[in-house]
A and B are shown apart, each in its own frame.
Chain A
Amino acid sequence: MTQVPVIESKNLDLTFETADGPVAALKDVSLQIGAGEFVSFIGPSGCGKTTFLRCVAALEEPTGGSLTVNGMSPEEARKARAYGYVFQAAGLYPWRTIAKNIRLPLEIMGFSRAEQEERVNRVLELVDLAGFGGKYPWQLSGGMQQRASIARALSFDADILLMDEPFGALDEIVRDHLNEELLKLWARTGKTIGFVTHSIPEAVYLSTKIVVMSPRPGRITDVIESTLPQERPLDIRDTPEFLEIAHRVRDGLRAGHAYD
């Protein structure tokens, strides 16, 4: 990696002060993410994947170490609209149609009406929801809602896309389909993506880099650079190369668990 990293974390610490005492959600997390990388975070529940993503998004304040996004502090990066964030639940507003939901960030960021219109249509197309703009969220399936929330995060063209288990609640088939779509979208747009998942195949299939984490305290145990080609049909998951990477991820997860 020769360019300046888009996200750079050095010895990042975050300790939550709770009623039961301090919880070390992140401990000594150092990581570099370059432009256009697709980075997955995988690890057992409570290892700080969400917390790390929230730190990048300036939704959480680290208690130690340094973190820069596009060379700025996360706070400044947020103000510069550097990233779109996709939460685990679609979180669409029930009183807005799909098109109006996607328009929400555009309204807040002050795009002109014509441009809002144009962008909404473009991202609806991108996530395969053209023609559903006038529907209310409850009229859509869970997978479609999740795609709408991705469209919402894409609409203002941030260079970074942060996704926290966006497909966690979906069934395998829909998930496979959305994974394929996401890869295509990433190839087309060249965005930098941070992606949290619990699924090893999903992480290996999607990523150029897999970050394996372990809990108590939350830390990185392994960073795996994928050797898979850019072009990835779904059946790449049966190749020895894929299985080898998956194996290494599993070993990393097991190592994190070893002490308990």
Chain B
Amino acid sequence: MRTILPVAVVVAAIVAFWYLAAIPMNIHFAVTSAQRAGAEVTPESGAERRNMGAIALAARNPAQWTDSWTQAKPRLPVPHQVVAELWRTTALQHPASKQSLVYHGWVTLSATVVGFAIGTGLGILLAIGIVHSRAMDMSVMPWAIASQTIPILAIAPMIIVVLNSIGVQGLIPKAIISAYLSFFPVVVGMVKGLRSPDAMQFDLLKTYNASRSETFWKLRLPASAPYLFASLKVGIAASLVGAIVGELPTGASRGLGARLLTGSYYGQTVQIWSALFATAILAAALVAIVAGIERATLKRMGLAT
């Protein structure tokens, strides 16, 4: 409870700063529209205003401040506009409508989840291989690292186009990009986790004459659980980024990425920002779900209280 106050203060400060920042960002348009509507503004010449700094112009036209918070296509929308847009596109729309962020969110979410499942499965399998085979350790790890140095924005269109040319569209290409981003943290975390028991614990199993698979199931795998969950939290967020990036290059009409794209085509800044917020909320929810599963699992294993 004692943390609520500081958190509220920080949030309030951010919101206040945001409103303040929106004034100079949107002031030129606000002043011009006000003048057109017959209001007194300084300076009167449009050319002079264009050459003026935004902060100076805002300082000289305090009457137009509130106008800068209500424009239809502001450079920087303010929080209540974003919240209103979020409300309008979620609660007030049928969830299956193309106007609904719920619909677009679902499209992105399904690709994210499928991609995350593929990436996690692949990551775990690769990690098991790397830990058990020196050859795989030497051969796979460098490629996994190299794969992540290629900018995803460069490789995503290629994946989409190549798959499209063989007739694969929709969810699968996006899920593959998701998997491409999410397998890596899982490989790294899982390799570390599977190697985390100390030499004494391996020696102990050796004195029982335990096989490799018994060592894996009884020691390596349970020991890796905390590492796996840390990776999964990074991985699920990366999956979401992957799914959204996968929606950009094709000019897709569905998904949060598509909302971002169409918003920027038509200068619909409020739509862009509400799509961004929807993405952030979705990411937070996904990470929270993974964290919840983590807590429950580790508790069941006796590793957390």
Contact = CB atoms under 8 A, between A and B. Distances in A.
Contacts of A96: 302
B288 interface: no
A95 interface: yes
Interface stretch (B35-43, B106-114, B204-212, B249-257): B204-212
Given A95-B303, A96-B302, A136-B302, A83 B207 contact: yes
A87 B203 CA distance: 9
B226 to A, nearest CB: 10
B200 interface: yes
B117 to A, nearest CB: 25
A37 to B, nearest CB: 20
B155 to A, nearest CB: 39
A94 interface: yes
B218 interface: yes
Interface in B223-277: 223, 225
Nearest to A80: B209
B208 A95 contact: no
Given A87-B200, A91-B200, A108-B218, A78 B207 contact: yes
A59 interface: yes
Interface in B194-220: 200-201, 203-210, 214, 218-219
Nearest to A164: B200
Nearest to A91: B200
A44 to B, nearest CB: 22
Q: SS class of chain A's interface: helix, strand, loop or mixed?
A: loop
B303 A94 contact: yes
B301 interface: yes
Contacts of A108: 205, 208-210, 214, 218
Interface residues of chain B: helix, strand, loop or mixed (majority):
helix
Nearest to B203: A59
Given A59-B206, A108-B205, A108-B214, A95 B222 contact: yes
Nearest to A94: B303
Given A96-B302, A97-B302, A108-B214, A91 B209 contact: no
B222 A85 contact: no
Contacts of B200: 87, 89, 91
A57 interface: yes
A123 to B, nearest CB: 15
Interface residues of B, number: 19
B208 A109 contact: yes
A108 B204 CA distance: 12
Interface in A69-113: 78-79, 81, 83-85, 87, 89, 91, 93-97, 104-105, 107-109
A72 to B, nearest CB: 13
Contacts of B219: 93
Interface string A31-75: 000000000000000000000000001010000000000000000
A81 B302 contact: no
B209 A93 contact: no
A84 B302 CA distance: 26
A85 B302 contact: no
Contacts of A136: 302
B201 A91 contact: yes
B207 A84 contact: yes
B209 A85 contact: no
A129 B75 CA distance: 71
Contact of A91 (B204, B218, B223): B204
A94 B302 contact: yes
Nearest to B219: A93
A248 to B, nearest CB: 33
Contacts of A87: 200, 203-204
Nearest to B218: A104
Given A107-B218, A108-B214, A95 B301 contact: yes
B210 A57 contact: no
A107 B207 CA distance: 14
A57 B207 contact: yes
A142 to B, nearest CB: 16
Interface of A: 57, 59, 78-79, 81, 83-85, 87, 89, 91, 93-97, 104-105, 107-109, 136, 156
23 contacts: A57-B207, A59-B203, A59-B206, A59-B207, A78-B206, A78-B207, A78-B209, A81-B209, A83-B207, A85-B204, A87-B200, A87-B203, A87-B204, A89-B200, A91-B204, A95-B222, A95-B223, A95-B225, A95-B301, A95-B302, A95-B303, A105-B208, A108-B218
List of 8 A-B pairs having minimum Cβ-Cβ separation, nearest first: A95-B301, A136-B302, A85-B207, A105-B208, A108-B208, A95-B222, A108-B210, A87-B200
Interface of B: 200-201, 203-210, 214, 218-219, 222-223, 225, 301-303
Given A83-B207, A84-B207, A95-B302, 4 more contacts: A95-B225, A95-B303, A108-B210, A108-B214
